[in-house]
Structures are given as structure tokens and as C-alpha cells.
Amino acid sequence: MAKKPAAKKAPATKTAPAAAVAHDDPDFVLHSLQEEFNAAKRFDASEDQLLEFYRQMLLIRRFEEKAGQLYGLGLIGGFCHLYIGQEAVAIGLQSALDGDKDSVITGYRDHGHMLAYGIDPKVIMAELTGREAGISKGKGGSMHMFSTEHKFYGGHGIVGAQVALGGGLALAHQYNDDGGLCLAYFGDGAANQGQVYETFNMAALWNLPIVFVVEDNQYAMGTASKRSSAETRFHRRGTAFRIPGMDVNGMDVLEVRAAAEVAFKHVRDGKGPVLMELNTYRYRGHSMSDPAKYRTRDEVQDQRDNHDPIERVKKALIEGGKSEEDLKAIDKEIRKIVAESADFAENSPEPGVGELYTDVLVEEY
């Protein structure tokens, strides 16, 4: 059974004027995290940390470009949803996790979240191409990758289902008292699903350690969020459940990381769930089979030219004294890692027929 939720704080009395400002406002909890975040909106990264963010985001970008090529060559079967444009979200958030304790769950646009853990790109590319050496033995593919070693619980194709499963992961953290939190990502389209709000209710009621993250990339398949959502300021959607919201620029890794620090601390302090809205953009179609005719080229170009998360960090590194040559050398090194992952995948065998019968049913409870 879940533990009892923490008792609600009594309203402040007139004898405590400093706290009274906050506690006299019954909605303080709903905007307190945004206020804290607004006070220091960008993470103060060291040069090494900035360089690491740059490398990690560039690895996702180059990996996804290569995955797109392999898909074009017929080496990746089924669906393939690329994460290009959204790199700062996974890197900014997951760089703030406690890798030994925290869990992550997401939808089918999951390659970037795997790479953000530092998992070997070879086993991820082998998974995309359905090879035995893949992280899920080639049986999950692009949409259903797992790494229980890293507490990464997929990779889910049913829109919104990962939110309810994330609630379960958070309940497990609380029940086992392991000090971990669950980071549950979902899209702007998924945000209109009923099960999301059922999970919000239970998570708030039971004070679960969960951070809900709406990756608002502005589209759900071919539908712009403003055409499908009555409230596109997704961070407000926890209000009815008294879940504090945070509105974050998901194209700026330093902003994402600063927001992560505030949100994770709140949850780790036992104060219950947080809802983060990460405003971002996907440069490519919904999946590889989408020509994205529902938006203009100019719209995409404007995002690439003026909001690109990798270019933003590159500019900061150059201002901090790195040369174009230094950064080109990093790009070359990353392209090599990605090319090697593709070679590895192409040269790995497909799973044997016997694998059809493994990992299908849990045999013992």
C-alpha cells in the first residue's frame, strides 16, 4: 500500500509575517516553482559542462540524421520518429537525474533519451535495425527500447500510456522508499488523453515522486497543438490537481537544466509531483513517412536559424574562447562514432528464430 500523503501545512498566522505572504495565498504552491525558476533562469555551467552538453546534443543530432539515412535505405523497418530539434530537452533534464535512483519513461520518440544516458550508440543503432546485438535484442526496434540497467522503462507506442505507467514507477519509488523519482515524458498530443489526468489526480493525492514533462513540439502528427488543444499553456493543466507548473524554453539546454534543478528538488523534498512544459520544435516530420505538408518551410527554417539548441551552445562556447576548429574536431569525432554504430548494426546478425519465444511471458511471479 502507498504511504499516507504528507499532512497539509496549516495556514500561517498573523504572527509569522514573512511566511504569511506565501501562505495567505492559497494558490502559492501552483506558481512557487515558476517564481523560483524565474529568479535564476539559466544554469551556471562550467566550460566542461557546456562542452559536454554540446557533445551530447550533437551526438543525438548526428545519430538521428544517420537513422534517417538507414531508414531511407530500408535498413530500419516499421516506424521511426526522429528527435532532431528537441535535443536540449532530454539532455537538460536527464543530466540532472540521479542515475542510481531515478527512472525515466517516454513515448516512441525515444532515441535521444537513450543516448542522453550515455548508452553505447552501437546497441541503440543495432536495436533500430532489428539486430541481435540491439539493446532489446532487436525485438523492440525504434519505439520499444528499454534499459532496466539505467532504469529506463521505454519506449511506448500507445500515446499517453507511459504517463500512467510512470505513475506506477513513482509509486514503486515511494513504496520501496528508494529515494528515486520518475521522469515521465509525453507530447502535446498525449496531453489531451484522459489517463493523463487520472494519473495527475492519483499522483497528487498520494504525493508521488514524479515529474511530468510535456514536450510541446507544437504538433501531434499533422495537427498543430493550437488546433487541437483548448489550453496550449500545458504547464497550467495540473492546476485542478494542485500540481505546480513550470513553463520552460526547451530550446535552451541551460534553461532546461536550471528548471530541472528546481523541479527535482521539490519532488525530492517530498512535496509531490511537478508538471513541466518544455517548449520545443521537431524539425522533421512526425515519423519518417511524413512529408510534413501541414506547415511551411519558412516556419521550420526560422526555428533552425533562430532557435536551434545546438547552435545556441556553440555560440556560447565560441564566446567563451573555443575556436571553430575545436568545434569542427568534435563534430568529426561524433560523426565517426555514429558511422561506427551504423557499421556495427549493419554487420550484426538478426535475432535467431529461437528468440521468438523469449521475453514474451513472465514465467514466475
Residue 187 interacting with Mg ion (CB under 5 A): yes
| R_g of the chain computed on alpha carbons | 21
Secondary element (H or E) of residue 187:
strand 182-187
Between 2 and 221, CB nearer to ligand TPP: 221
Residue 110 interacting with Mg ion (CB under 5 A): no
Map the footprint of ligand TPP across residues 170-189, applying CB under 6 A.
187-189
- At its nearest, how many Å lie between ligand TPP and the CB of residue 97? 20
User: Which of the listed partners (ligand TPP, Mg ion, none) does 68 bind, with a CB threshold of 5 to 8 Å by partner kind?
Assistant: none
| CA 43 to chain centroid | 18
In the structure grid, which three cell numbers stand for residue 193, read together?
488523453
Report how far residue 70's alpha carbon sits from residue 68's, in angstroms, rounded to the nearest whole number: 6
Residue 159 interacting with Mg ion (CB under 5 A): no
Report how far residue 346's alpha carbon sits from residue 127's, in angstroms, rounded to the nearest whole number: 11
Residue 221 interacting with ligand TPP (CB under 6 A): yes
The alpha-helical segments, DSSP class H, found in the chain are 17-23, 28-39, 47-72, 87-94, 111-116, 121-128, 161-176, 194-205, 225-228, 253-268, 297-307, 309-319, 324-346
Place of cell 495565498: 25
Residue 309 interacting with ligand TPP (CB under 6 A): no
Residue 277 interacting with Mg ion (CB under 5 A): no
- At its nearest, how many Å lie between Mg ion and the CB of residue 290? 12
Strands 219-220 and 103-105, by their bridges, are: unpaired
User: Which of the listed partners (Mg ion, ligand TPP, none) does 286 bind, with a CB threshold of 5 to 8 Å by partner kind?
Assistant: ligand TPP
In the DSSP assignment, the letter for residue 217 is: -
- Cα distance from N-terminal residue to C-terminal residue, the chain: 18
Residue 278 interacting with Mg ion (CB under 5 A): no
**Buried/exposed 269-289: b ≥16 CB within 10 Å, e otherwise:** eebbbbbbbbbbbbbbbbbbe
- At its nearest, how many Å lie between ligand TPP and the CB of residue 253? 19
Report how far residue 96's alpha carbon sits from residue 205's, in angstroms, rounded to the nearest whole number: 26
Amino acid at 18: A
Residue 308 interacting with ligand TPP (CB under 6 A): no
Binding segment for Mg ion (CB under 5 A), chosen from 65-73, 188-196, 238-246, 300-308, is 188-196
Binding segment for ligand TPP (CB under 6 A), chosen from 32-40, 217-225, 229-237, 333-341, is 217-225
Report how far residue 177's alpha carbon sits from residue 357's, in angstroms, rounded to the nearest whole number: 35
Residue 111 interacting with ligand TPP (CB under 6 A): no
- Pick from 257, 266, 286, 314: which binds ligand TPP (CB under 6 A)? 286
User: Which of the listed partners (ligand TPP, Mg ion, none) does 158 bind, with a CB threshold of 5 to 8 Å by partner kind?
Assistant: ligand TPP
Report how far residue 299's alpha carbon sits from residue 284's, in angstroms, rounded to the nearest whole number: 12
Reduced to 3 states (helix: H, G, I; strand: E, B; else coil), residue 220 is: strand
- At its nearest, how many Å lie between ligand TPP and the CB of residue 157? 5
Amino acid at 123: V
Between 5 and 78, CB nearer to ligand TPP: 78
- Pick from 82, 133, 159, 196: which binds ligand TPP (CB under 6 A)? 159
Strands 182-187 and 210-216, by their bridges, are: parallel
Residue 263 interacting with Mg ion (CB under 5 A): no
User: Which of the listed partners (ligand TPP, Mg ion, none) does 20 bind, with a CB threshold of 5 to 8 Å by partner kind?
Assistant: none
Residue 283 interacting with ligand TPP (CB under 6 A): no
Adjacent-strand bridge partners of 144 = none
Position closest to ligand TPP via CB: 187
- At its nearest, how many Å lie between ligand TPP and the CB of residue 81? 6
Reduced to 3 states (helix: H, G, I; strand: E, B; else coil), residue 17 is: helix
Amino acid at 362: V
Kindly determine how many residues on this chain lie close enough to bind ligand TPP according to the rule CB under 6 A.
Answer: 13
Map the footprint of Mg ion across residues 195-254, applying CB under 5 A.
217, 220
- At its nearest, how many Å lie between Mg ion and the CB of residue 292? 13
Contacts with Mg ion by CB under 5 A lie at: 187-188, 217, 220
Contacts with ligand TPP by CB under 6 A lie at: 109, 157-159, 187-190, 217, 219-221, 286
